[in-house]
A and B are shown apart, each in its own frame.
Chain A
Amino acid sequence: MDADPVTATVHIDAPPERVWDYFTKPGMLVRWMGEYAVLEPEPGGQFTVNVQGAPVRGRFLRLDPPRLLLISWGYAGSDRLPPGASTVEIRLTPDGTGTRVDLEHRQLPAEEKSGHGVGWVHYLARLAAAATGEAGPDPGMRQLPPLGAERAPGRHRSR
Chain B
Amino acid sequence: MSTMDTVTEAAFHALAEPHRRDILRLLRDRPQSVSEIAGQFDITQQAVSLHLKVLRDAGLVAVRPQGRHRVYAVRQEGLAGLRDFLAEFWPDSLQRLKRVVEADDGR
Residues of A within 8 A of B (CB): 3-4, 6-14, 18-19, 22, 31-33, 51-53, 80-81, 101, 103, 105, 108-109, 111, 114-120, 122-123, 126-127, 130, 135, 137-141
The one of B11, B95, B99, B105 that contacts A123, using a Cβ cutoff of 8 Å: B11
Whether B82 sits at the interface, judged by CB under 8 Å, is: yes
Contact present for A117 and B85 (CB under 8 Å): yes
Contact present for A14 and B101 (CB under 8 Å): yes
**Looking at chain B, what size class is its interface with the partner chain?**
35 or more
On chain A, the residues within 8 Å of B89 by CB distance are 51
Whether B12 sits at the interface, judged by CB under 8 Å, is: yes
On chain B, the residues within 8 Å of A141 by CB distance are 8-9, 12
A69 → B minimal CB distance (Å): 13
Contact present for A119 and B101 (CB under 8 Å): no
Whether B97 sits at the interface, judged by CB under 8 Å, is: yes
The one of A13, A117, A127, A138 that contacts B79, using a Cβ cutoff of 8 Å: A117
Whether B64 sits at the interface, judged by CB under 8 Å, is: no
On chain B, the residues within 8 Å of A10 by CB distance are 91, 94-95, 97-98
Say whether, besides A8-B94, A10-B97, A22-B100, A123 and B15 are in contact (CB < 8 Å).
yes
